[in-house]
Amino acid sequence: MKHTHLYNYILGIADNSLILAQRLGELCGHGPTLETDIAGTNISLDLIGQARNYYQYAAKIKGEGKTEDGIAFLRLERDYKNVLLVEQPNEHFGYVMGRQYLFDVFHLLFMNQLLNSTDETLAAIAKKGIKEVSYHKRFSGDWVKRLGDGTQESNQKMQEAIDELWVYTDELFDQTEADKAMISEGIGIDTSKFKEVYYTEVSALLKEATLEVPERKYFIKGGKKGTHSEHMGYILAEMQYMQRTYPNMEW
Amino acid sequence: MTITQSANIDAHLIPILEQVNDPEIPVLTVLDLGVIRQAVEENGIIKIKLTPTYSGCPAMDVIGDDLKAAFKKTGKEVEIELVLSPAWSTDWISEAGLHKMEEYGIARPLSETADKDVLLGNKKLVKCTNCGSTNTHLVSQFGSTACKALFKCDDCQEPFDYFKCLK
């Protein structure tokens, strides 16, 4: 039972990175400028690298001939445990940066805690990735500020993006059964402990960006439990295409 | 040599390891880069522990294949294990490696504090690899590979890569 919880817990972390990386990967070659294009794919690559480390570990725990590729590519939609935030589409550059920033702040706080996990492998993955994630947050935060405090149009677009994405932020702190079991073991991270820190930090940056902090009224969740938005199927159709069409193919 | 001190590498394997280069910074050998944490021969099998520079570094798979190929020429089999802990640090790049990197056109990583001053505080500390001026500015935190940032010299106008400090 412990292994099942640990396996599910790891996938919960890894799927966020994988699906966000896939979204960023869609923009490869389509960034507004060369530098932002390269930055987006760099961030995507870091996230895929982190996801690979988690999946390799998950495959080892599961045994039964599981591989990292199998876990990443051959599950059905309901088996993915990522939050709804990361599967939201690339509406426009401001939207992409808003989505990234709202995730990065959480991600860095999370990694900071994962360093202290009693699970050595998870702590090592966090140690490896934490500096990468701090670069991501700096980049996305800078763009939210620049666009928020930019022209009238960029401000408006950024505001709309934040307003839309805000409803997905609460799910970051939702705790599944696997989360709770792992927290009690000292392996998992109790995200409720930094929920207020998260909203304080995000709100401060939004204000600096001359944006309004949305009022928290209601939130949409479900991804962590496998109930995804309609976007998820399209993401998987593209992401899984090669493995579905040519089973077990390797590079 | 600092690399062989901190990592466990059999001396007789060094000449072969020196033939394997980083595919993305080809002037550096895997030893210069400090990604080989262990290379020992046990019962005729070479056991290598490799650590990635960045989590998603695509060079790792290539380096693994290149290591196997290099040892295959000597008739030896290789087992490669990827290790994450302790995490790779730019401190593990050898002095010779840093020198070769600069000659190649990539500015060497600064100390952790100086690196933060540059990337966060826009201080002018990174030396242009073309003219040596420190009158340079950060163009993008993300460069041609995960480990580098993009800079430009305000004196000679040359754009260049800076190897980000990682600790």
What residue ranges in A55-206 does DSSP mark as E strands?
A: none
Supply the Cα-derived Rg of chain A in whole angstroms: 18
How many angstroms separate the CA of residue A97 from the nearest CA in chain B?
A: 15
> What ranges do the domains of chain A cover?
2-245
Strand order through the sheet with B45-50:
B8-9, B36-42, B45-50, B77-82
CA angle A116, A119, A124 (to 5 degrees): 70
What mean pLDDT, rounded, does chain A reach? 95
Distance between CA B129 and CA B123 in Å, rounded? 17
Distance between CA B137 and CA B126 in Å, rounded? 8
What mean pLDDT, rounded, does chain B reach? 90
Q: Please report, rounded to a whole number, the percentage of residues in chain B having pLDDT higher than 90.
A: 67
* Chain B residue closest in CA terms to A47: B56
Q: What is the DSSP letter of B1?
A: -
Cβ contacts below 8 Å, chain A against chain B, sum to: 70
CB contact under 8 A, A139 and B87: no
Q: Please report, rounded to a whole number, the percentage of residues in chain A having pLDDT higher than 90.
A: 93
- Domains, chain B, in order of start with CATH, read 2-92 (3.30.300.130), 105-163 (no CATH)
- pLDDT of A1 > 90? The answer is no
List, for residues B94-108, the tens digit of each pLDDT value: 999 999 999 999 999
The torsion angles phi and psi of B41, rounded to 5 degrees, stand at -100, 125
Cα of A164 vs its chain's centroid, Å:
17
Domain A2-245 in CATH 1.20.1260.10? The answer is yes
**Residue A49 has which token pair?**
């690298």
Contacts A141 to B, Cβ<8 Å: none
Cα of B126 vs its chain's centroid, Å:
18
ipTM: 0.82
CB contact under 8 A, B55 and A46: yes
